[in-house]
Chain A
Amino acid sequence: MKTVRVLIVDDHRLFRSGVRAELGPSIQVIGEAEDVESAVSAIAELEPDVVLLDVHMPGGGGQEVLRRVLGSGSQVRFLALSVSDAAEDVIGVIRGGARGYVTKTISGAELTDAIVRVSDGDAVFSPRLAGFVLDAFASTEAPPIDPELDSLTQREREVLRLIARGYAYKEIAKELFISVKTVETHVSSVLRKLQLSNRHELSRWATARRLV
């Protein structure tokens, strides 16, 4: 089994060392960064397989790292990791190019699993992110501009609903009588829609959920 080379980007030293200790043997932490500047240069220098990216950081946060690294044509994969539950943060980093979003309460085993999944090019959705996506795509008053990108298929909706219910990919596959690979395809497809859909409702919805 190949090891995944990971860079941890977080402004809390304590949290970085905590994550380092929790990750399984299939993960090799090759470096750490504590702000946008050091993250961008470390990614260019170390070329990790996966970057564990904190959303809130001094100097523009995770979204700024995404903008600068992916804007320069890099193929590095990002997994966002945050304490925030705010919809705008979650939707923001996903639309910024992260391939998944998990909250910091995730267990070490699940995080290891998520990193491996992201390194394989798949998407990782936490139950909460799945809930946000269902919510965002459900609140459609205006007809979609691009039907392919602006709405979810019945199957994708089912998969997301099961993720929101707390099912792992394997359990979803069993439930829907499909393969795990097919589940992954559905989730990746949802991720693509989430990133590419120019439906303005998506960002407007996230903004509307801000604290009043």
Chain B
Amino acid sequence: MLSEMSEMPNAVAAYPRMVRPVSGRVVAGVAQGAAAQLRLDPVVLRLAFVLLTVVDGLGLVAYAALWMFTPKEEVKGHEPAREWGQLAAYGVLWLTLGAFAWLTGASSGGFGTWPIAVGGIGALILWQQADPGRRQRWMSGAVKQVSTTWVRTGIGALLVVVGAIGFLAASGELAKARTGLVFTAVVVGGMLMIAAPWLASLVKELQRERTERIRQEERAEVAAHVHDSVLHTLTLIQRNAHDAREVARLARSQERELRNWLYQPKQDADATLAAAVRRVAAEEEDAHGVQIEVVCVGDCELSENLAALLHAARQAMVNACKYSGASVVSVYAEVEPDEVTVFVRDRGKGFVLDDVPDDRMGIRQSIIGRMERNGGSARVRTEPGDGTEVMLTMKRDT
């Protein structure tokens, strides 16, 4: 799963972006590259650039912009030469058209052409930068929008046509440049009208992609968790295959961790008694390699005397793990309205309570003494061969 995920960005990047081919170029390969992207004959684009250059030099600007923003195709070895013959032909064509336009005055578009030029070139660059999949979505989205909202599109198109006619009419007279601007505004308005639903769908698309990304991030988080915990433990288990005890400990600790992650409500490890009992049991289980089964009924906030109860319970678990010889220790914690009880039980070898020397801190001080100092009580029930049960009771201070 991990390798699959890491390959995904590469797969996207592997899609062909527009490049300027070196072989067969006339000037810098812009027209050829664009033609390859649009699946057109490069001649069509070359002619378009020449024609647009005649109108206020628009083609020249567009060409320059694409030249700058498009990476050159990488070639190994010697670069092939330009097609000088073709360049000469297009140059002659441009000169002829330019002279004709200058003579008839058709080329003087005035200031009105510049917003269109800037917008157009911007759109071109956006188009050229986008990956093909997204371009296809844009196109299909636009087509769908056009077919579903044809009234709006029709009105918009009408405005564009009216504006264009007005623009052409106005551009003939330089003195009335203001009228030209007005009509340019009409054109822009019309284009906006056509583009509005398409823009809206773009925004929607953007949101969709955002939710998709969040989902992927969640997936990545799960993958990371599995990697950090489960896979890591499996590696450790393989490495320790000869040590049965260590393998059991690793497996058990991983199982507990995964279980907590899956089933336990996310809670602060030390905020409540049940969570704290589970945490303490987990720590001692790890430390001693003895399975500790925890069952909790009810729950409450931790307080100072309950923390003391917790310490005593931990000591009881340590004793059971270390001295009883049992493979399983049962811990049961119950929170009742007025008191909290914790039982720590093993089916190990047990002992005679009176035989425990006075200087042994475990039972007398850490368990019984601590409970009594904090207003609780501890009872130890044990018999040789019959296991041990420590019962800890603490009043709740409410």
Is A192 positioned at the interface, with any CB of B under 8 Å from its CB? no
| Residues on the B chain within 8 Å of A127, using CB | 293, 295, 330, 332
Interface residues of B (CB under 8 A from A): 259, 262-266, 291, 293, 295-298, 328, 330, 332, 334, 343, 345, 347, 389
Q: Do B330 and A209 touch (CB < 8 A)?
A: no
Cα–Cα distance between A167 and B293 once the two chains are bound (Å): 12
Q: Do A164 and B297 touch (CB < 8 A)?
A: yes
* Shortest CB distance B360–A (Å): 25
Interface residues of A (CB under 8 A from B): 84-86, 105, 127-128, 130-131, 134-135, 138, 161, 164-167, 209, 211-212
Contacts A85-B259, A211-B265, A212-B266; A135 near B330 (Cβ below 8 A):
no
Q: Do A166 and B345 touch (CB < 8 A)?
A: yes
Cα–Cα distance between A186 and B334 once the two chains are bound (Å): 20
Q: Do A134 and B293 touch (CB < 8 A)?
A: no
Q: Do A164 and B295 touch (CB < 8 A)?
A: yes
Chain A CB within 10 Å — which of B291, B296, B297, B345 has the most? B297
| Residues on the A chain within 8 Å of B328, using CB | 166
Contacts A127-B295, A135-B297, A138-B298; A166 near B330 (Cβ below 8 A):
yes
Q: Do B389 and A165 touch (CB < 8 A)?
A: yes
| Residues on the B chain within 8 Å of A85, using CB | 259, 263
Q: Do B263 and A211 touch (CB < 8 A)?
A: yes
Identify 12 residue pairs between A and B in the complex whose beta-carbon atoms are under 8 Å apart, listed by A's number. Answer: A86-B263, A105-B291, A127-B295, A131-B296, A161-B334, A164-B297, A165-B343, A166-B330, A166-B345, A166-B347, A211-B263, A212-B266
Cα–Cα distance between A105 and B252 once the two chains are bound (Å): 10
Cα–Cα distance between A36 and B33 once the two chains are bound (Å): 59
Cα–Cα distance between A130 and B297 once the two chains are bound (Å): 9
Cα–Cα distance between A166 and B295 once the two chains are bound (Å): 9
| Residues on the B chain within 8 Å of A131, using CB | 295-297, 332
* Closest residue on chain A to residue B262 by CB atoms: A211
Contacts A165-B389, A166-B345; A138 near B297 (Cβ below 8 A):
yes
A138-B297, A165-B330, A165-B343 known, 5 other contacts, Cβ within 8 Å: A86-B262, A105-B291, A165-B295, A166-B293, A167-B345
Q: Do B334 and A134 touch (CB < 8 A)?
A: yes
Q: Do A135 and B298 touch (CB < 8 A)?
A: yes
Q: Do B263 and A128 touch (CB < 8 A)?
A: no
* Shortest CB distance A32–B (Å): 24
| Residues on the A chain within 8 Å of B389, using CB | 165
Q: Do A165 and B297 touch (CB < 8 A)?
A: no
Q: 5 tightest A-B contacts by CB?
A: A166-B330, A131-B295, A165-B332, A134-B297, A212-B265
* Shortest CB distance A187–B (Å): 16
Cα–Cα distance between A86 and B258 once the two chains are bound (Å): 13
| Residues on the A chain within 8 Å of B293, using CB | 127-128, 166
* Closest residue on chain A to residue B293 by CB atoms: A127
| Residues on the B chain within 8 Å of A134, using CB | 297, 334
* Shortest CB distance A103–B (Å): 9
Cα–Cα distance between A211 and B262 once the two chains are bound (Å): 7
* Shortest CB distance B341–A (Å): 9
Cα–Cα distance between A84 and B330 once the two chains are bound (Å): 19
Q: Do A165 and B345 touch (CB < 8 A)?
A: yes
Q: Do B263 and A130 touch (CB < 8 A)?
A: no
Cα–Cα distance between A47 and B365 once the two chains are bound (Å): 59
| Residues on the A chain within 8 Å of B263, using CB | 84-86, 211
Cα–Cα distance between A156 and B295 once the two chains are bound (Å): 17
